[in-house]
Amino acid sequence: MSFALDITDCFASEIGDSGLEEATFEQYLQKTGEFLETLPSQVGDGKLPFLSLPAKQDDLPEIVEAAAHFRENFDDVIVLGTGGSSLGGRTLSALAPLEYPKICGGPRLRFVDNVDPHSFDLLIAATDWSRTGVIAISKSGSTAETMAQFVVLSNTLRTHVTEDRVSDHVAVITEPKPSPLVSMAENIGCRVLDHDPHVGGRYSALSVTGLLPAAIAGLDITAIRAGAARVFQSVLDGATADFTPALGAAVSVGLERTKGVKTTVLMPYCDRLAEFGLWYGQLWAESLGKSGEGTTPIRAIGTVDQHSQIQLYLDGPADKMYTLILTDTAGQGPNLSDTMANIEGLAYLRGRTIGDLLSVAGRATAETLANNGRPTRILRVPAVDEAAMGALMMHFMLETVIAAHLIGVDPYDQPAVEEGKTLARVYLEAGG
């Protein structure tokens, strides 16, 4: 397994009254087992296609070929999309050192997921469009923000490259059905990659929407899926006794139901996992926040938020659970100069590395939270690589789906989102 889960400090026996009672946990865990028994047949019947993605291979050659085109021909690649069309690719691509092109060896990836006019003016003015590719992603093919972005940038490309070259600069990912995005792609004559109509955006990170940006970043997309497959394999094998997503869901729902936990904080101690909190936030909030149910996800990053949020976590309302993702950084990174460490007050740094500091900071935070009665679980990730990222994504997708079963909501729809979209279109049609 690419990671290990420790939920010890979520229980009353360890942290006191704010922790979950073992008997309550076992009740919820039993309910997860009943649900897990149904998953293999649902996957076999094609009812949960996102769970079939880890084993899928027939789409990889097309993704690899498209990625090679963008890697070989452009210095910059701009990915247009919002929500699930953007966050999966952003999260996976963060494994690569994209801000250091000489190290990364490929184009710079830029994810444009908003429609702030100031940002767009800067983007247009500062970009060498003759050396820039554009990928537009929208499952429906009609997302207002993405359509607006694509109209602007496709027109911008036309002013900087010849008409017969525009199609080489562009690719589109969308459902294989008539839509505004398909019409624009046909007008340009660009490459179109199919988005599976049955895979929702927030569950699509392991599909082309996440894997194409990851491949452009130079990552091993086969390893990403392999890591995800290992998490789900135990369910297919019928071995669910210690299934980590079920443990996580039972703890999360048990704490919410019996201990008043309304907020869940995800805090990785790793810069490459900083984007993971954004991806998780959409997954958890949009899947569970229905009919008065759900808990609010908060994104934090260690050690930075030890200096901004930890005061609230330790001394504020006891209404949160914490998930710390700790990596094996001891002994890694630059050595701290013994000469400088001899300065008064810095002796504790003598002979240490930057990685030592990160490692002990995560450990100390976890212990401090538990000592103060805050339910805390730890995900230990020995190596932050493609397999680990695939495994973490599959873990949290499954944990979310299982939690939805426990609280009785549909994890695949988002009915409340549509009202705002409809109103925005009405206002535009009425002239603002």
Active site residues: 286, 307, 421
Q: How many Å apart are CA 375 and CA 358, to the nearest integer?
A: 22
The conformation of residue 131, written as its DSSP 8-state character, comes to G
Q: Which uninterrupted H or E stretch holds 233?
A: helix 221-236
User: What is the chain's length?
Assistant: 432
Is the dihedral angle over the CA atoms 52, 57, 61, 64 positive or is it negative? positive
Residue 151 CA to residue 360 CA, distance in Å, equals 49
Pairwise CA distance, residues 129 & 198, whole Å: 34
H and E: helices and strands count for the chain? 19, 10
Quick count: other Cβ atoms within 10 Å of Cβ 129? Answer: 18
Phi, psi of 315 (to 5 degrees): -125, 5
Pick left, alpha or beta for residue 351 (phi over 0 → left; psi -120 to 50 → alpha; otherwise beta).
Answer: left
Assess contact for 366 and 378: CB atoms under 8 A.
yes
Which residue spans within 81-160 are E strands per DSSP?
108-112, 132-137
Give the torsion through C-alpha atoms of 148, 152, 153, 155, to 10 deg: 130
Residue at token pair 């919820």: 28
3-state secondary structure at position 37: coil
Q: Which residues contact 57 (CB under 8 A, 6 or more apart)?
A: none
Please report the beta strands in 69-196, taking only residues with DSSP state E, as ranges in sequence order.
Answer: 76-80, 108-112, 132-137, 170-174, 191-194
- The tally of CA atoms less than 13 A away on the side-chain side of residue 316 is 11
